[in-house]
Chains A and B, each alone.
Chain A
Amino acid sequence: MINDTLQNRRYVIAIIMSVVIVVYILRLFSIQIIETKYKEGAESNAFLRKTQFPPRGLIYDRNHTLLVYNKPAYDITCIMREIHDLDTLSFCRALNIDKKFFINRIAEIKDRKKNLGYSSYTPQVFMTQLDIEDIATIQQSMYKYPGFFIQNRTLRDYAFPNAAHVLGNIGEVSKRRIENDEYYKPGDYAGRDGIEYTYENTLRGVKGVEILLRDAKGRIKGKYKNGEKDILPIAGENLTLTLDIQLQILGEKLMSGKVGSIVAIEPSTGEILAMVSNPAFNPSILVGRQRSKNYIVLLNDPTKPLMNRATQAQYSPGSSFKPIQALVCQQMGGITEKTIFSCNGPESSPVKCTHHHGSPVSLLNAIEQSCNPYFWNAFRTTIEKDGYGVKNNIFRNNYDVWVDNVKSFGLGEKFTDSDIYEQSRGYIPTQKYYNKVYRSETGWRAITIRSNSIGQGEILATPLQLANAMSVIANMGYYITPHLNKSDSMKTKVHRSKVDEKYFPIVVEGMSRVFEFGTARLSKIEGIDMCGKTGTVQNSRGKDHSIFVGFAPRENPKIAIAVVVENAGFGSTYAAPVFSLLVEQYIKGKIERLELQDRVTNIVTNTNVKER
């Protein structure tokens, strides 16, 4: 029965079978080796990467008092494509939200314009920063809402309602920051300003990842490889600040009802002991869900409570500039400690004197009595000392030297090696500036820029810069970059002033006499030898700014302070007592002059300033 011609058909059959199998092997090769999309598909299918947020570092003051700590908070996240059979009504009831909010929120999440990088596969933040009370109801019944998850987070909490500007706050990261730093994902929190911003990388720690396996129905089936590939979160480092919270609290109290700022520095280390800006706010109102609402209120407040006046506001230093002028003029050889000038009081020309004292005046008296004509003459003789020269070149050269000397006190530039967030530059006008303003190199002379002699005119300084300049005088010739982090590495940033040490004692003596016989004699403290200088600064917006700068004690100074009270009046009346009380608190550890404290606290110079 064997048919020979048909027998050959077995080859056709064998070829058909072989071809199919070869085609299948080629197909396997294509999807297993050439294509990559299937591997990615498997990743997003099976792995749920759950971010483990590290606790943020705690913040302490210099005496190790806890200032900022964490409290638990919860986010509700959702993975859109896993949401199914949702009982919206019961979900909304459990979260205590209304249905309209729910619908809007889902629409917002899905809107790629508002939510860049939206994917229905990855967790999206549905609601953020909920308290334990908010999620108590839903926590039990979370299994009923597939696709929704509770994410543990931490929120900041504050031990004191103070130092808001120094501490800063945290909020959701901006789009720009996400683009620049791949550490962040939408919905993450990060320091928004102050210390929280500058030390973000230290405080935030390192996020961890828990890799969970998820089955086709979205149920978690356990850890991938028993957690072998998980990354544990690393807690943020704690931070100890240079602030003395008691001094800070006192400073804020004394400034209540006023607009202005205080900066206190330990001269020997550059450590900032207090940094007050008023009006201020309680830092805890910028935490959690009420953050955005409160932020808008603060932003629209005409007294600008969000602005840190201590580092951002720029004032003409006025008479508080005179000690620096005295030092620079000596250094440049314009005057000596024995130089005397005559003063005609209010009739003096071209600069009037606002105080009443004898004539002629010496340098000591001039500082003590804040004599304007003396400093005008000193300034003039300094920059005119070698004449004007061809095209004023000698004069202009001397002016440049003067600018350099003044800047060596930390004025006119930001402290770029500091950890203080958002500083203003201040301003020491340069030769170039005047050449431009007066249209030529010969268009201006000493008389043209006479306001500079007494710290008015174009000169601008921040309270931080003024306090730092006092550090230079307290240290007799150098400062350490003012800073907030109490770490030894910050203390090495020493900057020498261009004025030699030998010119300092006479100025210190003069500033000491301010308390003995001069403008601040009413703010003297028994037993503490203080040095200071008042400033009453004319300005275009109402009453004079009241300024006081100084340091104490005279020997071995512990604290250098600048106080600015905007639109208050005389430096001696408003800023000087604040200085005095702060010194008392810091040196003695407590306030004995309670009456003075109450009086200063109760002074209101600006009725718009809200009580906290």
Chain B
Amino acid sequence: MSKNVSIKYALDWTTVFFYVALVFMGWISIYGASYEFDQSSIFDWNQRAGKQFVWILTAFVLGGMLLLVDYKMYNFFAYIIYAAIMLLLIVTIFIAPDIKGSRSWLVLGPISFQPAELAKMATALALSKFMSSYNYKLKNWKDLIPLALIVLLPFVLIVLQKETGSALVFAAFLLMFYREGMNGIILLLTLFAVLLFVIVIRFSIIPIQVDQGTLGIVLSMGLILLVQFVYAFFVTKHRKEASFLLLGTLGLTLISIVLNIWFKVNFDYVALFVVIASCIYWIFVELFNRFKKYWMLVLISIGSVVFCFSSDYLFDKVLEPHQQIRIKVLLNMENDLTGAGYNVNQSKIAIGSGGFWGKGFLNGTQTKLNYVPEQDTDFIFCTVGEEHGFWGSTLVLVVYWLLLMRLLRIAERQRETFNRVYAYCVASILFFHLMINVGMVLGIMPVIGIPLPFFSYGGSSLWGFTIMLFILLRLDASRLERMR
């Protein structure tokens, strides 16, 4: 009994308020999105809004129950929960029916459930437990391997379920790792890799001259050289060397252009040659001056070159055709608005037609008439954009932002590493979902089918996020308990 009283005071009601607000707004939007013209009640069990209402109620009950569990249990059972869920994922691969190519749904009578939604929570718990263990250090290779395995296992299992989108979410843990000591360069490198990939793919179709190289390779090599220059000029402040790099690059470029008058110069190879030459130059600089500043730069440059030249191959051979097309649509390389570009175009039309004030609740024509696919699950944000306009969608984004900021605050006030790591996991996952989902709907991210947390229709995702959040709230509430 005394525990219950303490929960009431210790619970972070602000987070609960944002949670309830998002769930409620999501429910209203689902009603709007699946509303047919023959008006039915928002509680109608046969409609999606009615079903979602049941999911919401059960999620509340579930959340309340999680608050009643002793906080130590989560730490204590972390690996067991992880193992159980991984087992469930494996079982799912074999017994799940094929639903639109995906084998991720467990069907139990009228209810289907997606175990992948629980895997995030389980992985977060396992990571927290491992990283909070005594003697753990992120820099140790010995410790890094189990960490990687904890993340990769669910990733691979979910990929095997043909839910690549959900699997990508595990990349979100990079933010948590960063907070826990991972070198910031890895975040920058990730960004750099994405940038290189986009440049190579986007401009690979544009030849500089026929059979003489593509703009994609030349631009990406240029970007690598730019990074080298910026590093030498601003970070290590070796301005002389940096200037030499610049002059050398310009000189070689000029020579190749002049040579092009007589010979057919392949600019891909010229660019490659310049980057390799620069790497050799930096190695000399390093050796002669006994600096220890350029090994990393050279390594990154070479890695980038390999990455660039394999990007095209990766794109064509590793990605599936529908994934290739989604990326091409995003990069404006595919203009077929009735085919591959349809979803995103219709989604932009629905949101764009909302204007500032929106068309009003239940007055959205685009979502109502099914122009937007998946409008109550992955594209739920369209309904908000169309019916409630700019102010409504901004409000939703602001509530998410407030929730994320609140979670960061909660994370930092934890005394135990387990709690803090777990809090960062939750914040990172929510942020990643938000970034990908809203970005996709707005046409600035490729189409990756993951739900908007607390908003999208579906019991699995609502339960998954609710469990994840309420475990955090329970852990957070323990901070007062221990003070007693």
Contacts and interface: CB of A to CB of B under 8 A. Distances in A.
B366 A24 contact: no
A285 interface: no
A28 B442 contact: yes
A224 B37 CA distance: 10
A248 B221 CA distance: 92
A45 B365 contact: yes
B178 A42 contact: no
Given A6-B179, A12-B178, A213-B369, A45 B349 contact: yes
A46 B365 contact: yes
Interface string B366-383: 101111000000000000
B438 interface: yes
Given A17-B431, A20-B435, A216-B371, A32 B349 contact: no
Contacts of B345: 41
Contact of B355 (A20, A24, A39): A39
Interface in B381-409: 385-386, 389-390, 393-394, 397-398, 400-401, 404-405, 408
A214 B365 CA distance: 9
Contact of B438 (A3, A24, A46, A224): A24
A32 B442 contact: no
B390 A33 contact: yes
B370 A38 contact: no
Interface string B166-181: 0000000001001111
A42 B401 contact: no
Nearest to B358: A32
B353 A39 contact: yes
A13 B404 CA distance: 10
B266 interface: no
A480 B252 CA distance: 97
A7 B350 contact: no
Interface string A214-238: 1111000110100000000000000
B404 A17 contact: yes
Give the interface centre of A3, A23, A38, A47 by most chain B CB atoms within 10 Å.
A38
Contacts of A17: 401, 404-405, 408, 427, 431
A46 to B, nearest CB: 4
A296 interface: no
Given A27-B444, A32-B390, A46-B366, A14 B179 contact: no
A3 B352 contact: no
Interface string B394-431: 10011011001100100110011100000010010001
Give the interface centre of B345, B352, B411, B435 by most chain A CB atoms within 10 Å.
B352
A12 B177 CA distance: 13
A24 B352 contact: no
B439 interface: yes
A31 interface: yes
A23 B370 CA distance: 28
Contacts of B459: none
A16 interface: yes
Contacts of A214: 369
Contacts of B397: 21, 24-25, 28
A227 B400 CA distance: 39
What does DSSP make chain B's interface, helix, strand, loop or mixed?
helix
A160 interface: no
Contacts of A27: 442, 444
Interface string A397-434: 00000000000000000000000000000000000000
A10 B431 CA distance: 14
Contacts of A215: 369-371
Contact of A32 (B37, B385, B417, B444): B385
A103 B411 CA distance: 69
Interface in A244-269: none
B203 interface: no
A183 to B, nearest CB: 27
Interface in A1-54: 1-3, 6-7, 9-10, 12-14, 16-18, 20-21, 23-25, 27-29, 31-33, 35, 37-39, 41-43, 45-47
B354 interface: yes
B400 A21 contact: yes
Given A24-B442, A32-B385, A39-B355, A13 B349 contact: no
Nearest to B372: A216
A79 to B, nearest CB: 14
B181 A24 contact: no
Nearest to B401: A21
B180 A10 contact: no
B181 to A, nearest CB: 6
B103 interface: no
B348 interface: yes
Give the interface centre of A1, A13, A27 by most chain B CB atoms within 10 Å.
A13
A221 B369 contact: yes
B200 interface: no
Contacts of A3: 181
Given A13-B175, A25-B394, A221-B369, A37 B404 contact: no
B38 to A, nearest CB: 9
A37 B434 CA distance: 26
Contact of A31 (B132, B338, B408, B442): B442
B412 A7 contact: yes
Nearest to B181: A6
Contacts of A32: 351-352, 354-356, 385, 389-390, 393
A213 B179 contact: no
A25 B396 CA distance: 10
Contacts of A16: 175
B209 to A, nearest CB: 35
Given A13-B175, A17-B404, A21-B401, A28 B351 contact: yes
Contacts of A18: 401
Nearest to B350: A42
Interface in B172-201: 175, 178-181, 184
Contacts of B434: 20-21
Contacts of B405: 14, 17
B179 to A, nearest CB: 5
A447 to B, nearest CB: 84
Contacts of B369: 45-46, 213-216, 221
Contacts of A47: 365
A31 B348 contact: yes
Given A28-B385, A221-B37, A38 B175 contact: no
Give the interface centre of B178, B180, B353 by most chain A CB atoms within 10 Å.
B353
Interface string B459-471: 0000000000000
A1 B355 contact: no
A13 B370 contact: no
Contact of B394 (A14, A28, A41): A28
Contacts of B180: 6
Contacts of A25: 394, 397
Contacts of B390: 28-29, 32-33
Interface in A302-345: none
12 contacts: A10-B412, A20-B434, A27-B444, A28-B390, A31-B352, A32-B354, A33-B355, A45-B346, A45-B366, A45-B371, A213-B37, A215-B371
Interface of A: 1-3, 6-7, 9-10, 12-14, 16-18, 20-21, 23-25, 27-29, 31-33, 35, 37-39, 41-43, 45-47, 81, 213-217, 221-222, 224
Interface of B: 37, 132, 175, 178-181, 184, 338, 345-346, 348-356, 365-366, 368-371, 385-386, 389-390, 393-394, 397-398, 400-401, 404-405, 408, 411-412, 415-417, 424, 427, 431, 434-435, 438-439, 442, 444
Given A28-B442, A41-B353, A213-B369, 17 more contacts: A9-B178, A9-B184, A10-B179, A10-B408, A12-B178, A14-B405, A21-B397, A24-B397, A28-B394, A31-B348, A37-B352, A38-B351, A39-B355, A45-B365, A45-B371, A213-B368, A214-B369
Q: Which 8 A-B pairs have the closest CB atoms?
A: A38-B352, A42-B353, A46-B365, A215-B369, A41-B349, A31-B352, A32-B390, A216-B370
